[in-house]
Amino acid sequence: MKPLNIAIFGSSGAIGKALCFEFSKNNSVNNIFAFSRNGVELDHQSIISKQVNYLNENSLTETSQSLECKLDIIIVAIGALEQPEKSIRDISSVKFIDMFNANTIPTALIAKYFLPKLYKDRITKFASISARVGSIEDNELGGWYSYRASKSALNMVLKGLSIEQKRSNPNSIIFGLHPGTVDSKLSKPFQKKDKEYFTPEFSAEKLVSVIDTKTVADNGKIFDWDNKIIPY
């Protein structure tokens, strides 16, 4: 197998960081480029840390140009969930903009600047961490308007990318992932005492095995940590 080059965005987060270390255990991985807003260093010989502003196109241009090799896999593990709306009364434009800036727009802009860095003549994978609550069909509880909508919109962005990208590389696979309910800064305020949460390491191990199994037949779909399809 040819050595793999992988880019992970959101490497300062619990799941992003655990994904970097999980991929680093694989002998066929050459470089792991770990991108974060603050350029946090991760201590492993194959991890190269880089700082980037996900919403600034100059920053994305510069960082993408700084990569001297082609990529096999790109994973986006960026996102936020703050004070989700319990009721219609809680809806605000500021919250909607914040949620789209954290959960939707980074993946679209990263795709714009980094999909051209993927090999054109190999199987390549681009995945973004979505959330089960972004599924419209699965929504039975309501609430959390802006977070849910930002993840549903992310799923639509991934679907569009999957259609466009396969025209230039029929072996391109683009998909969404749900990591399970994971102990992290994001989930902390919503954790309940009597419920168990995945560690980021457990979730990353599961996600990497899901990513490994993906074939072109999976292009454009959303999968959970257990490799089950999540409906749009």
Ligand X SMILES: NC(=O)c1ccc[n+]([C@@H]2O[C@H](COP(=O)([O-])OP(=O)(O)OC[C@H]3O[C@@H](n4cnc5c(N)ncnc54)[C@H](OP(=O)(O)O)[C@@H]3O)[C@@H](O)[C@H]2O)c1
Residues that bind ligand X (CB under 6 A): 10, 12-16, 36-38, 54, 77-80, 101-102, 106, 129, 131, 178-179, 181-182, 184-187
Q: Please, what is the minimum distance in Å from the beta carbon of residue 171 to ligand X?
A: 26
Q: Which is nearer to ligand X, 71 or 133 (CB)?
A: 133
Token pair, residue 8, equals 């992970």
Q: Please, what is the minimum distance in Å from the beta carbon of residue 182 to ligand X?
A: 4
Q: Please, what is the minimum distance in Å from the beta carbon of residue 117 to ligand X?
A: 20
Q: Which is nearer to ligand X, 69 or 226 (CB)?
A: 226
Q: Which is nearer to ligand X, 4 or 40 (CB)?
A: 40
Q: Please, what is the minimum distance in Å from the beta carbon of residue 139 to ligand X?
A: 14
CA distances 159 to 131, 149, 220, Å, are: 15, 15, 5
Q: Which is nearer to ligand X, 55 or 216 (CB)?
A: 55
Q: Which is nearer to ligand X, 173 or 177 (CB)?
A: 177
Q: Are 9 and 60 within 8 A, CB to CB?
A: no
Token pair, residue 147, equals 């977070």
Place of tokens 């029929």: 170
CA distances 4 to 24, 177, 223, Å, are: 11, 20, 22
Bridge partners (DSSP) listed for residue 136: none
Q: Please, what is the minimum distance in Å from the beta carbon of residue 43 to ligand X?
A: 17
* Type of residue found at 215: T
Q: Please, what is the minimum distance in Å from the beta carbon of residue 165 to ligand X?
A: 21
| Angle ∠(206,98,75) on CA atoms, nearest 5 | 25
| Angle ∠(61,68,213) on CA atoms, nearest 5 | 90
Q: Which is nearer to ligand X, 168 or 199 (CB)?
A: 199
Q: Please, what is the minimum distance in Å from the beta carbon of residue 121 to ligand X?
A: 30
Q: Which is nearer to ligand X, 171 or 181 (CB)?
A: 181
Bridge partners (DSSP) listed for residue 127: 75, 175
Which of helix, strand or coil describes residue 140? coil
**Closest by Cα among 107, 28, 11, 117 to 64:** 117
